[in-house]
Amino acid sequence: MAQFLARRILFLIPVTIAVTFITFVITRVIPADPAQLAAGLRAGPEQVEQLRRNMGLDKPLYVQYVNYLKGLARGDFGASMRTRQPVVRDILRYFPATAELALVTMLVLVAIGIPLGALTATTRRSVDVAVRSVSIGITALPTFWLALVFQFIFFFKLRWLPALGQISSEGLLPAHPTHFYILDSIITGRFGALPDVLLHMVMPVSALVAGRLAIVVRMTRAALLEELRQEYVRTARAKGLSEFRVLLGHALRNSLIPIVTELGLHMGWLLGGAVFVVELIFSWPGIGLYAIKSIMALDYMPIMGTTLIMTVIFVIINLLVDISYTFLNPRIRY
């Protein structure tokens, strides 16, 4: 077990290097002058030169790369020219909003997707096909388009839900001990903020859940069907156990492994791109919005920083998923 863990953690190193190398190459291919950007549109040539030297841009590329890696080791991810802040600070500031969104989305996905998947695996053909088709239909809707439609109908036309952001006014929640708005409103006793925060999550979460629902349903269904074919299920049925108990007590539990693996993939999908456009449309101050704006502005450091962080997070999530196997299925040992 320890050996397995060690190997997987060591894997992070080549991943990190590969990611930094690839993003470094990509961002350096961009023909823009970061010194000019940092100095501002109206700066004179001497100011720009000065900044160029400060930023180390007059050195050859490989030296820049090595310096970047050295900086990473120190925890320095460089600075964003758009926000004029260290990238680490920006990422720490924007990340909790994305994390909150992703976690709530996962919760809802699991709460809706798994039961639906179980349903399709066990009912009549007609219901199975109907549910699956509907879920495929929902997931086929482009997430960005769905987000726009939601905003247009539920905010603009019906006024049921707020248009954007995490909260109506930051004044409602002055203190952020955890930076998770839901938790913060409870912890700091500002209960008035809680319904506001929850309402703000409805549309973004719905758009994201819709984008992945069919996949969760399909995977749950496949995993469950696989389990239901096993010998022990027949035995359980032969023993006279109710279908429900067979399902819940045995089949579902054992099919948790593939389902849990998929959770890691869903998280990857969310963090890997789905959150970006949703955050853009709802002005949700998360990593996705930060990344998109950085990409559009060709801001090197944030692009590299966010890609690196997201990749590492994804790898860690998968690692956690693998570890959880041992608890879910005692037969698997590393």
Partner 1 sequence: MLVCASILCCAIVASAVLAPVLAPYDPLSMNFADRFSPPNAKHFFGTDSFGRDLFSRVVYGTRISLRVGFFVLVVAMTIGGVIGTVAGYYGGAVDSILMRMTDIFFAFPFLILAMAIAASLGPGIGNAIIALSAVWWTPYARLFRGQVLSVREQEFVEAATAVGMSDFRVMFRHILPNCFGPIFARATTDIGYIILAGATLGFVGLGAQPPSPEWGTLVSEGRLYLMTSWWLSMFPGLAIFLTVVGFSLLGDELHRRLMHG
Partner 2 sequence: MKRLAAVAIFVLAASCVGFVSYGVGDASDPGTLVYAFREPMTTLDPHVNVDGTLQMLRPCYDGLVRYKVGTAELEPCLATAWEVSADGLVYTFELRDGVRFHDGAVFDAEAVRVNFDRIITLNLGAAYLIDGVFDHLEVVDEDTVQIFVKQPSPGFIYSLVEIYMISPKALAEQEMEGDGAAAWFHENIAGTGPYTLEYWNPASELALQRFDAYWEGWEGKHLDYIVVKNIAELATQRMLLEVGQLDLIDEPQTEDVPAYQANPDITVYDGQLLQGWYITMNCLQGPTADVRVRRAIAYAFDYATAVSQLRQDLAVPLQGPINASNPAHDPCLFRFTQDLDKARELLAEAGYPGGGGLKLKIGVVQNLTFEIECGQLLQAALAQLGVELEVIQIAWFTFLEMSQDPQKANDLAMVSTLYASDPVPDKHFELYWKTGGTYNWSFFSSTDMGALLDDILEQAAVTIDDDSRNAMYRAAQEVIVAGCPAVFTVNDFNIRVMRSVVKGFQFSPTLVFYDPFYYMYKEMP
Told to check if 41 binds partner 2 by CB under 8 A, we report yes
Binding mask 229-258 for partner 1 (x = CB under 8 A): ------------------------------
Choose between 137 and 195: whose C-beta lies nearer to partner 2. Answer: 195
Told to check if 282 binds partner 1 by CB under 8 A, we report no
Distance CA 267, CA 221 (A): 19
Rounded to 10 degrees, the C-alpha dihedral 15/21/23/26 comes to -150
Stretch that binds partner 2, among 77-85, 114-122, 221-229, 248-256 (CB under 8 A): 77-85
Binding to partner 1 in span 294-313, by CB under 8 A: 295-296, 298, 303, 306-307, 310-311
Please select the residue that binds partner 2; options are 166, 220, 254, 311, rule is CB under 8 A.
166
Amino acid symbol at 221: R
DSSP letters, 118-171, are: HHHHHS-HHHHHHHHHHHHHHHHS-HHHHHHHHIIIIIIIT--S-SSSSSS-GG
Choose between 33 and 49: whose C-beta lies nearer to partner 1. Answer: 33
Distance CA 112, CA 131 (A): 12
Binding mask 289-308 for partner 2 (x = CB under 8 A): x---x--xxx----------
CB of 112 to partner 2, least distance (A): 20
Query: CA neighbours within 13 Å on the CB side: how many for 160?
Result: 9
* Closest of 211, 170, 204 to residue 190, by C-alpha: 170
Instruction: For residue 138, give both structure tokens.
Output: 């929902």
Interface with partner 2 by CB under 8 A: which residues? Answer: 30-34, 36-37, 39-47, 50, 82-85, 93-94, 97, 151-152, 155-156, 159, 163-166, 168-172, 174, 190-196, 280-281, 283, 285, 289, 293, 296-298
